[in-house]
Structure 1
C-alpha cells in the first residue's frame, strides 16, 4: 500500500480517483492514468510475499515488478504479470483504464470476487490477446464484455496452447452469446480447448456453439447448472475430440446430429480423449442409433440420466471404444452382442441400474482386456456364462441384483486378479467355490442373499468377515465364527451335499405340507363366520379365482416373461398378469411366485395367507387368491395373486431412476400434499393392524418398496411375508429375547430387533418414522452420508424448528413452494408459505418422535396419523 504521509499529492489524486467513475478508455490522461490505475489495483490486492513492494513513488512505474511498458517514448502499460505470488483480495475496476494493456496474467493466486466488467470498455484495444486467470477463486457472473474484445485469442493459456479455460472457479450466470463475437478466438487455427467446467454457469447452451466448428480437441462445460436441450448444432463440431457436458441439468433427448461428429482425430499432448461425457443430467428418450458413426470414439459416459429404449448395436462400430458407461438409466431389452465383440473395450463396461433382461451373452468372454464389468441391478436371467472366465484382466465384476441362477462356473477360477466380486441378491445355488479362497487380491466378496449351501471355507478371504459377505444363504454352514453360521453336520460336509433320494423325500414332504396348508386355509376360510362388514368377511374378490392353476398363471404372465417382471426379492418374484375372471372379463393382477429353494419362502407364504385371510382395510393390498401345486417339471409351485397397483411402489416415486418403473415416460414428482396423503394412508393402515384387526398384527418390514400406489395414488401396505400376530401382552413393549433373529430391512428395522428383542407394534412405529423422514427429506436411511454415529433420525432431529433449512432439503419443493417464493410481496402467497413451513416442521417432528431409539419414547401410531391429518387440513384450507 502507498504511504500517504510521504506522498500527499499522490494520496489526494488516489482519493479523487476513488470517488469518481472509471475513466473511459478514450479519455486523455496518458501515463498519469496508468500509474493511478496500477496503484488502485495494488490497493485492492493482499500481498503476503511483498511482490508489489516496488509499486511506489521511488521507481518509475515501468520498472515496477510485473509491469511492462510499450516503449521509452509513450511508456504505456501493455502487460501485467503477477502469477504465482499468493495474491488474494480482488481486481480493481480501475484496471479498465489501462487502455494499452494486451496481456493480463494473474493465474495461480487466490484472487476472489468478480472479474471487473470494465475490461470490456477498452474499445480502443487492437493487440489484447491473453487473459490468464486460472486457479483463482473468482465468483459472480462471467463478464459478457469478453465477447466485445474481437482481438482476444486466448483466455488462460495453459501449456502455451490457445485455450478458453476458466475452469474451477465459482462463476455464475449465463454463458454469454456475445462470446461468439470474438471471431479470432473461434477461427484461430491452433484453438484446441474450450474449458469452462466446474463453475456455476446456468441457462441453456447457446446455438452459437456451432461457430466452434474448428475446435479440434476439447469442449468442456461440465459441472455447471446448464439446463434445456442440447442444441442440434452440436453436430457441426465435426472435428471434436472430447465433448463433456456432464453434471449439469440438461434435459430432452440426445440430438441425432451427434452422429455427425465422425472426424475425431487421435489424442495428442493436448490431452484430448475422444470422449462423449453427458452423464448425470436429466436426458430422456433413446440413445441415437447413429451414435456409432463416431467410429473413433474412445470413451462414452452417459450414466445418471433417464435414457430409455434399447442399447444401439451401432456401438459395435466403435472399434477403438475402451470405456462404455450407460448405468443408472431406464434402458431395456437385451445386451447387444455387437458390443461384446469390441477388441479395445478394456477400461469399463457399465450397464448397471437399468431394466435389461435376457441372458448374459456367451460373447462376454471376448472382452479379454476388460478391467471392470458392472451389470448389477437389472433383470438378467439364466446362468453366469462360463466364458466369463476368459476375461482374465477383470478387477471388478458386479452382477448383483439380477435373476441369475445355477452354480458359480468353475471357469471363474481364472479371474485371479479380481479385487471386487459381487454376486449378491440373485438366485445362485450350489456350494461356494473353494477357488475363491485363492484370490489374494480380493478386497470385497459379496455372495449374500442367494441359495448357496454346504460348508464355507475358513481360508483366504473367508478368514475375514468384513471382506466376505454371505448373509441370506440359509443353507450355508461352518466358516469362521464371525459369520454366525451353524455347524456343519457330517452329511452336509460331504462334497455334493444331500443324496438324490433324500432330495426326493424332502420334495414329497414339502408337497404334502403345501397341500395340507392349502386345504387348511380353504377350510378355515369357508368356516369363518361373516362379520358385519361384508367386505371384511371375504378375503377374495370372487370365488372363480380360487381355481387358479399354474397353467392359468403361466398364460396370464406370458410364461413369467421378464417383460412382465415387477420386482424380485429373496423369497420370490412378482409379475404383472392379465387373468380371466369369466368368459367376458379380464383383470390385471400381481402374481408373487415363491422361490421355494429359499428356506423361509414357505413360511412367508403361510404368513401372508394367515394374515390377509383375517384382515381387510382399504389401505392394505388385497389378496385375491392363492395357487399351490406343481409346475410342468413336477416341482413345487406356490403363488399369491394380488390386486394390481398401477402406480407401482413408493420407492419408485421417491427415488426415480434407481429402480425399475415399468411404465413409459418420466414420472412427475410427488407434491408435498401427495406425500402427506400417502403417509396418512400408511399410518391409518398401521393403526388398523395394531389396534382394530382383532388380534394385533405387526408388519415387521415397512419400507417404501412395500408401499404400493393405486390409480388414485392411494397408499397400500403390501408384503406380509414377515408379519406376525401378537398376543395382547406384547403390543408395545418388546420382549427381552427372541428366537427369530432380526426382522425387517437394514435402516428401517427398529434398533431393539438387532439386540435380540421380539417384535412389537413399536417396532412398526419406528419403521414408520424413518419412512416419514425419507419421504420429506429425500434421503434414504442407508445414505452414504450417514456415518460415525449420524443417522437419518439424528439428522432430522438436529434440524429442529429450522423450517427454511427443511424446505431447502426436501427433494421435491413442489409447486406450492415455487408459487410461494415467486411473489414475496403478495400477502396471500406469504401466508401460504408460512403455512407450508409450519407444516414441514410438524411433519419432521412427528417422524423424529416415531423413530426414537427407545421404544417407550415413540409416539403411538394413532397419535401420529391424527396429527398428520391435522397438518393436511391446514394445508388444504390454505389452498395448497
Structure 2
C-alpha cells in the first residue's frame, strides 16, 4: 500500500514538472514583455501562482493561460503541446509571430484556442482536429495563409469559429456544413473566392454569419434564409449575383448586410416580417422595382442603407414608403443615395424620428420643392439632397436643425436667396450649395457658423459684395469657393484673416480694385484663383509670405507691372491676359513651359524660347529725356486712352466672358489635296494610330513651316463619326491648356471621288502615346516620369472641369489618348466623346458614346449622365495602370477581381507586389535609391500613388477624390521623389 501511494505521488510530481518546464519554454520564446506580465514567472513562486496561469485544484496542473493584451512579442513555443490538462489558451491582442505550432494538436482537453489579433503566419495546422473538445477557435486578424483544412470539420463540438482578416484562399469548403454545432462563423476580409456552399444550410444552430469582403461570387443559397436562429447575417462587399427569395423567414434577424454586391430583383417585402430588425444594409447592388417594405413592422430599426440601387419605378408615389417610417422611433440613419427615385419628396419626411442624424437622398431625380417639414428633423447632423432637381427656395425651417455639421444641397435648381437662418447652424463644418440658381447677397449671418471648414457657393447667380463676416471665419481651413457668380466690389482686406485656409477660389466674378496686401497673411493657402475679375494694379509684394502657395491663377484681369521674382517657387502659375511688362524670369516655375502661362501680355519679353516672346531691349542710360511739357501731354494722352479702352472693355466683359480662343490667331486653311500630299496619300507607312471613328497619320504640312503634324481622318461611314468631329471642333474652340493636345486646324471638304471628307490637324507628338510607352519592350518610364505624366493629365482634367465655362467632360480618358511630346510632357487628346455640362449639346448621347470598357465609370452602365466624376474614375483606372503595368481588361481580372480591388488589397499587404516590374528594376539598379532611407521613401511614394488611384476609382462617385486634391497629392509625391535625386 505504501509503495502504491509513492508511485502515484511521483507520477503527479512528474506531471507538474512537465507543466513547469513547458511554461519556462513558453517564456523563453517571448522577446518583449513591455508590461511585465511574465515577471512572476520564476522559481520564487509555484507556477500555479504565476500571472495569467490557472491550475486545477485537484492535480495542480495548468488548465488555463490568460495573457491577452499584454503587448507580448515573440514566438509560441512548441512546448505548449506538453500542457496536457490545458483547457483554455488565451493569447489574443499581442504580437506573436511565426507559425502556429502543430503540437497544439496534442491538447485533447482544449476547449478554447484564442490566438486572434497577433501576427501568426503559415497555415492552420491540420492536426488541430485532434482537439476533439474544442468549442472556440479564434484565429482572426493574423497573417495566416492557405485554405481552411478539411480536418476542421471533425471538430464536432465547435460553436465559435473566427478566421477573419487573414490571407486564406480556396473558398468556403462544403465540408464545413458537417459542423452542425456552429453558432458563430466569421471569415471576413479573406481573399477566399468561390461560392457559398449549400451545405451551410445544415447549420441549424447558427446565429452569427460574417463573410464580408471574401471575393465570393454566384448566388446566395436560399437555404440560409431559413435558419431560424440567425440574428446577424453579413455578406457585404463581395461579387454575389442573383435575386433574394421572395419569402424570408428569419424571426430573430437583427442585422442584414448584403451591401456591395451585384444582387438583382426586388428587395422582398417579406423582410417586413423580421420584426427584430435593427440594421438593413442593401446599398451598392442592382436591386430594382418598387420598394415595398412596410417599415411599420420593424419599429426597432436604426440603420437603413439602400443607396446605389435602381428602385426608381416611374410609378406615382414611389416614395410613399417614407410614410411607413414614422413609427421607427429609433431610426438614426437613412441612406437612399443614387436610387433613381423620381417625383416629389413627401412631406412625411418630417415625421421621421427625432433621433435621425444622417439623411441622404443624393443623386436621385427628385423634383419639386424641399418640404418645409424637413425642419422637424432636429436630430440631423448630416443632410444631403444634392444632385437632384429640386426647385424653389431653400426652406427657412432648415434653421431649426442646429445640430447639422454637413449640408449638401448642390447640383439642384434651387433659386431665391440663401436664407439668413443658415447663420443658426453654428455647428456646421461643410456647406455645399454650388451649381444652383441662387441669387441675392451672401448673407453676413454665415459668419455665425464659427466651426465652418469648407464653403461651396460657386456656380450660382449671387451678387453684391463679399461680406466681411464671411472672411473673418478663422475656422475655414479647407475650401472657400465663390467662383462663377456675379459678386462685385473690392476684395475686403479681412481676407487676410483666413490664415488657416488651403484653397480660395473667387474666379469669374466682377470683383475690382487692388489685390489687398493682407492676402499675404493667408499663410496656409496652397491654391489661389482670382482669374476672370477686374482686379488692377500690381501683384502685392506681401504675397511672397505665402510660403505654402502652390498654384496661383490671376489670369483675365487688368493687372500690370513686372512679374515678381517670388512667384518662381510655385508649381503652377497663370498670368495670362493681363498687362504685365518686362522680362519673364527663367528660374523655378518659369523654367518649365508647361507649368506657367503668360500669353495675352503684349509687353512681356524674354523668358524661355518656347514662349516666342521678343528679346528684351537693353536700357540706354544716355537716352535723351523728353521735355517736361511733352511728358505731361504724353501722360495725359495715355491716361485718357486707357480710361476709354478700359470703359469699352468692361462694357463688353459684362455682356459676355471672353474665351481664350477669341484671342488666338486664325486657323490656317488646308484642303483635302494638301493633306493627301502631306501624308503621302494617307499611306500605311505614315499611319500612327486607329480609333473607333478615325485613323491618324503623320505628315509634313508646307503651310505649317514644314513641321510634322498629326492628321486625324474621320471614317464617316462609322455611326457617330460625324458627331464626334463636331464635338471635337466645338471643344477645341473653347479650351486651351498646356496639357491639352494643340489643334492646328480642321478640314471639312470632299475627296477626289466626291465623298465627304473631314479631318482634324494636331501638333505632332514625337513620343507617341502613354499606352505605347507602358507596353513597349524597348523603352520604359521611371517612377518620377510616370508621376509627372499623371500630374499633367490630372491638371488637364482640373482645367476642363473647374476652369472652363461651360464645364467639359472628356468621356474617354485612357492611355492611348494621352500623348507625349519631346520632353515627355503629357497632352490629353481625343475629345470626340466630350460633353459640355449645363448645355443641351449632345446631352442625348447613348451609353455607347461613354468611353472604353475598363475605363468607363460604373454609373454610366446604369444610364447615368456623364459627369466630371466619371472622368475622375477613368483617371483612377489610368493611374493604376501606369503604376501596375496592367490593363483594366487584363486576363487576371476575373471572378470579381478588378484592377481597383487588385490595388486596394495590396495597400493593406505589400504594395510593392503590384508595382510594374520595370519601375522596380530602375531603382534596384540605382545605388542611391537602394539606400534604406531612400528606398523607404520611394515605397511610400508608390503606396501614396496607389491610394490616389484607388480613391479615384471607387464605385460611388461621392467617394472619389476631388481632382484638385489629386493634383496636390501628386505634386507632393513628385517633390519627394525629386528630392531623392535618383
* TM-score, normalised via structure 1 length: 0.50
Q: Which has the higher contact order (CA 8 A, sep 6+)?
A: 1
